[in-house]
Chain A
Amino acid sequence: MGKKLATQSTSQSRSKSKSKSKSGSSGLPLSKQELTKIHDLMVKSRALEERMIKIYKVGEAYFWIGGPGEEAFGVPLGMLANKGQGFDHDWLHLHYRCSPTLIAMGMDFLTPIRLIMNKATDKCTGGRNFSNHYSFPEWNVAPVTSPIGVQYSIGIGTAWAQKRRKAKGITIITGGDAGSAEGDFASGLIWASRKGSELPMLITVQNNKWGISTHYDEQHGEAHVSDRGIPFKMRTAVINGNDPIESYIRLGEEMAYIRKTGKPVVLEASVSRLFGHSSADGVNRRDELDCLEEFEKLLLKKDVLTEKKIKQIKDDYDKEAQNAQIKARAELSPEASTIWDHFYVNSESGDWRDF
């Protein structure tokens, strides 16, 4: 499982990286507190996904799709987001591999587990949608949608509303490499970068080199998806999304730039797809670089954590995830009659039989 991704060596940036080192005793460019926090959240997110895969495999969910392998990118993104509701907080338009980001923002285990098990208590979708299709208005987290790419055009609108108010919040968008072929991605670039009307958007792509079964090289001619920002005079960056330290520092820099200038950035992060596309292709562990394993090796080497401590963190989260499953299992399923709920806001009926 230790195969290095080729993309690691291509890690580069067109914007100058000025990562100031606040190196702690480990010799790494982040403090021990930051390193252990990132690690803790990565373990937590992985524990959640592994539990959800188990839930699928034992037949307690119809379908699994999620983000194991994207923790090194997703966790720093969630830590750096300005979380909250309203214009002075960031808007997040995420796709179906976003559990690391939401765990870093403080999502508990019960919420995603109720969602994947389609319980009546699933507050994100009411038992209606697939796993990882979240919506958290209280954190400006836009609904995760199945149609690929739409977040790149919807994000324009939240950024526009933020800009109008000169608000503190920025708009953050994530998505896959293959999905950047959709027209929405081009809309995002064009609308974000108009001279004098630039939008405060962090447009990101998590490049795992695959769209279901089709390799990146069969879908794209451009070396990096983020290069597509260049003709629009946008700041672009390519980072190693398998490295949480690099992700944390670089995301922090790019977000600071957007907050300061109100201008957009296109950022591509190389990541792994550790369990294939979804339960549709078997959901078995793939031979790709595991960002969590790599990070743990580093933290052990630098004496930031011990084997014992790592095991304890993992065991605790595994237990917590298991308990969430046990709790959710005992909860009720959505009733057939709920199909008409929320057709319109404020319980107005949309069933023509009621007109």
Chain B
Amino acid sequence: MANMAQSIRMALHYGEKHLDVKDVFGQDVGAPMGGVFTATQGLETSWNTPLDERGIVGTAMGIAMTGDICVAEIQFCDYIFNTIDLLKIAGNTNWVTNGNVSLPLVLMTPVGAGIRGSVYHSHSFDAIASRLPGWKVVMPSNPLDAYGLMLSAIKDPNPVMFLKPKALMRVRGEELIPGEPANEKELKAMIDQPVGGSAGWKAKWPNLEEHLVEIGKGKITRQGSAATVVTYGRHVLMCNQVADDLKKEKGIELEVIDLRSIYPYDWELIKTSIKKTGRVIFVNEDTEVTNFAEHLSYRVTQELFYELMARPKVLAGKNLPGIGLHANLEEASVPQVPEIKEEVISLLQEIP
């Protein structure tokens, strides 16, 4: 079973082979490294850029303007902040040109904490990304979805931001990517660059097939009727665990929704679930003040107010300037399993 780094790599290979991707680029994206998380190893179209994030985003926009298809990377989303005005322009180009000019590009970047990445390898970007109208924003929680979302992102005529939960890059999925060999070791031997380096090495790609995850469509990962938990990225795994624990310990069944797309988002899925449960908590790790979940929560109060049995909750990262390196600090800064569980229990206990 592929891990997420391998699945992204396979999606990019599928992209360059079948979807006309002409460039995959960013810092240390090409040989010899193939990306700091190895997600671009062995690709034919990958190359290394100067250490210049604005150059990377600008280049992607220019390539897209010509109609060529590219996937660009910002090495860590912590370093994307000096490109914000270019991201604004990428988002508003189709709109401001009256539909004359569109920018079909994919920008991928690792996000989130969970690897003891300290202040500058732990930022999240989903809340800010949701404030860049004109972009589509996706964030997978497992390798198969990463593959399917990447192919959809490449095919989409709009700028798409592909947020990679960095703590999940080595996590394996439960479902095979179509064409992927069932044996993990076999896959590794085919597409993982040998430790010695990239010289003389070529990936042997499996015969991959198209698999699309529609942008804007979420997924129910645990079914239940006690309360709805809406999340994405690595917090899907944590929320699933909370659901499993509560089921085992108390027989309580939560409904967990993996949003997968942050914008546009699957309102129908959220709405249907909340109508069933009457209780909802939104969980993510970006900072809590003007968090994207606050928009969802607001919408819930406007459209589902009289169906609610409890106040909607948002559990997100503390509104801090950064995430400290020591485990005590990191764990106190972004939601962890025990805190999610506690919040869910208090949501369940609320009497309307």
Contact = CB atoms under 8 A, between A and B. Distances in A.
Interface of A: 62-63, 118, 125-130, 145-149, 178-179, 181-183, 211-214, 218-220, 280, 333-340, 343, 350-352
Nearest to A351: B319
Nearest to B32: A213
Given A146-B78, A183-B54, A218-B48, A339 B119 contact: no
A224 to B, nearest CB: 16
Contacts of A129: 118-119, 324-325
The 3 nearest A-B residue pairs measured at CB: A146-B120, A213-B33, A336-B332
Contacts of A62: 116, 118, 325
A62 B118 CA distance: 9
In this complex, the member of B328, B332, B333 whose beta carbon has the largest number of chain A beta carbons within 10 angstroms is B328
Contacts of A333: 326, 328
A125 B323 CA distance: 12
A343 B78 contact: no
B329 A211 contact: no
B79 interface: yes
A87 to B, nearest CB: 28
- Chain A at the B interface: SS class: loop
B325 A118 contact: yes
A147 B52 contact: no
A129 B79 CA distance: 16
Given A63-B118, A211-B27, A352-B289, A178 B50 contact: yes
Nearest to B332: A336
A335 B328 contact: yes
Interface of B: 27-28, 30, 32-33, 36, 48-55, 78-79, 81-82, 116, 118-121, 289, 318-322, 324-326, 328-329, 331-333
A179 B51 contact: yes
B329 A334 contact: yes
28 contacts: A62-B118, A118-B325, A127-B324, A127-B325, A127-B326, A128-B326, A130-B325, A147-B79, A147-B82, A147-B120, A148-B51, A149-B51, A181-B55, A183-B52, A183-B54, A211-B27, A211-B51, A213-B48, A214-B33, A334-B329, A336-B328, A336-B329, A336-B331, A339-B318, A339-B332, A339-B333, A340-B320, A351-B319
Given A128-B119, A147-B120, A183-B52, A352 B325 contact: no
Nearest to B320: A339
A68 to B, nearest CB: 20
Given A212-B28, A350-B319, A128 B324 contact: yes
A53 B315 CA distance: 38
Nearest to A116: B325
A182 B54 CA distance: 8
In this complex, the member of A127, A145, A178, A336 whose beta carbon has the largest number of chain B beta carbons within 10 angstroms is A336
Contacts of A220: 50
Contacts, number: 111
A6 B120 CA distance: 34
Contacts of B324: 118, 125-129, 334, 339
A146 B119 contact: yes
Contacts of A130: 118-120, 325
B23 to A, nearest CB: 15
A336 B333 CA distance: 8
A89 B28 CA distance: 39
A74 B325 CA distance: 27
A127 B329 contact: yes
Contacts of B82: 147, 182-183
A213 to B, nearest CB: 4
B298 to A, nearest CB: 17
A125 B54 CA distance: 29
Given A219-B48, A340-B318, A340-B320, 7 more contacts: A118-B326, A148-B51, A149-B51, A178-B51, A182-B52, A214-B48, A339-B329
Contacts of A179: 51
A214 B28 contact: yes
Nearest to A183: B54
Contact of A338 (B30, B319, B329): B329
Contacts of B325: 62-63, 118, 125, 127-130
Contacts of B32: 213
Given A128-B118, A183-B52, A334 B326 contact: yes
B156 to A, nearest CB: 29
A123 to B, nearest CB: 15
B120 A343 contact: no
A336 B328 CA distance: 5
Contacts of B28: 211-214
Contacts of B53: 182
A212 B50 contact: no
Contacts of B319: 350-352
A334 B324 CA distance: 10
B33 A212 contact: yes
A302 to B, nearest CB: 40
A182 B27 CA distance: 12
Contacts of B329: 127-128, 334, 336, 338-339
A28 B119 CA distance: 45
A62 B328 CA distance: 13
A149 B53 CA distance: 11
